[in-house]
C-alpha cells in the first residue's frame, strides 16, 4: 500500500493529446485540481501505453509513483478509466517497483564521437539505418557470446517491456519477479537458428557495431534515439526506481501471466 492517507495527496497529470480524451482530462482537472509534477506526490497518466511511458519518464527524476487510467487502445500498463473515487483507488492500489535500463551509446567519429546516456523502461533496441543488414557483436559481462549477428536489429527488453516490441519480435514474456532481461533478435539472418537469450538483470551488455561506416545502426532507449552508434553498453540502473500503481484486480503480474496463454 503506497499511501496511508489520501486526503492531502497532490496529483500531477500527464495526458494524451487526442481529441476524444479532452473531456475526460477537463473533468479530471475540475475534480482533482492537479499540481505541477515538481509539487506532486503521485502522477496520474490518462491515455494509452505511450502516455504511460511518458509519465514514467517524467516521474523518474523524483521517483514518483505513477497511476495510469486507460484512455487509449491497449492500455496494458494502465487501469480502467473511471474518475469516480480516484483517491480511494490510490489508497487501495498495489505497487510494482521496477528499475530502468541505462544505455550509454557512443557515436562514430564522423557523427561527433560522443557518448550519450538515456534510460529505458521498456527496451533498448538496435535498428539498421540503411538497406543493408546490421552486423552486431554481443559481449555479456566481458565475455564475447556472439561474434557476429547479421540482422535487422536487436532488442534488450525489461520484464515490463517484454510484452511490447519484444513480443512482436517473438521474444519471451518475462514475469515481473524473474530478474531477467530478454535479448531478442529482429529478423536474424546469421546465425540462422539463434532465437535470443535470457540474461540476469545485473548483466552488463555491450553491443559493438561491426562495419559501422558501411552498415550504420541506431540505438533507441524508449524515446531517445542515437544514430550512427559504434558501441552501446546497457545495464540495469539500480540507483533509479519507478513505482507503477494498479487496482488490486488489475495487478500487472497476473496480467502478464495471462498474456502468455492468450490465443
Known catalytic residue at 49 = yes
Q: Kindly state the cell numbers that stand for 182.
A: 530478454
- Length of the chain in terms of residues written: 263
Q: Kindly state the cell numbers that stand for 120.
A: 529505458
Please identify which of the residues 49, 208, 222, 228 carries the catalytic annotation: 49
Query: Active-site positions?
Result: 49
Amino acid at each position: 500500500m503506497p499511501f496511508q492517507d489520501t486526503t492531502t495527496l497532490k496529483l500531477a497529470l500527464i495526458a494524451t493529446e487526442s481529441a476524444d480524451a479532452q473531456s475526460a482530462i477537463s473533468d479530471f482537472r475540475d475534480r482533482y485540481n492537479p499540481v505541477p509534477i515538481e509539487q506532486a506526490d503521485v502522477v496520474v497518466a490518462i491515455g494509452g501505453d505511450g502516455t504511460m511511458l511518458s509519465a514514467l519518464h517524467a516521474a523518474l527524476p523524483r521517483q514518483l509513483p505513477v497511476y495510469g487510467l486507460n484512455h487509449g487502445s491497449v492500455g496494458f500498463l494502465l487501469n480502467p478509466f473511471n474518475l469516480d473515487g480516484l483517491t480511494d483507488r490510490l489508497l487501495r492500489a498495489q505497487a510494482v517497483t521496477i528499475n530502468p535500463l541505462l544505455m550509454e551509446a557512443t557515436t562514430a567519429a564522423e557523427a561527433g564521437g560522443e557518448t550519450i546516456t538515456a534510460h529505458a523502461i521498456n527496451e533498448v533496441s538496435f535498428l539498421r539505418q540503411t538497406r543493408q543488414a546490421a552486423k552486431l557483436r554481443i559481449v555479456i559481462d566481458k565475455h564475447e557470446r556472439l561474434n557476429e549477428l547479421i540482422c535487422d536489429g536487436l532488442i534488450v527488453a525489461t520484464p515490463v517491456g517484454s510484452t511490447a516490441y519484444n513480443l512482436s519480435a517473438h521474444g519471451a514474456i518475462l514475469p515481473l519477479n524473474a530478474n531477467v532481461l530478454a535479448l531478442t533478435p529482429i529478423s536474424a539472418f546469421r546465425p540462422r537458428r539463434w532465437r535470443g537469450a535470457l540474461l540476469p538483470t545485473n548483466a552488463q551488455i555491450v553491443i559493438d557495431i561491426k562495419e559501422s561506416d558501411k552498415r550504420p545502426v541506431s540505438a533507441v532507449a524508449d524515446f531517445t534515439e542515437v544514430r550512427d552508434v559504434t558501441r552501446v553498453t546497457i545495464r540495469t540502473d539500480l540507483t533509479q526506481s519507478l513505482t507503477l500503481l494498479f487496482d488490486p484486480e488489475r495487478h500487472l503480474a497476473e496480467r502478464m501471466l495471462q498474456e502468455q496463454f492468450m490465443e
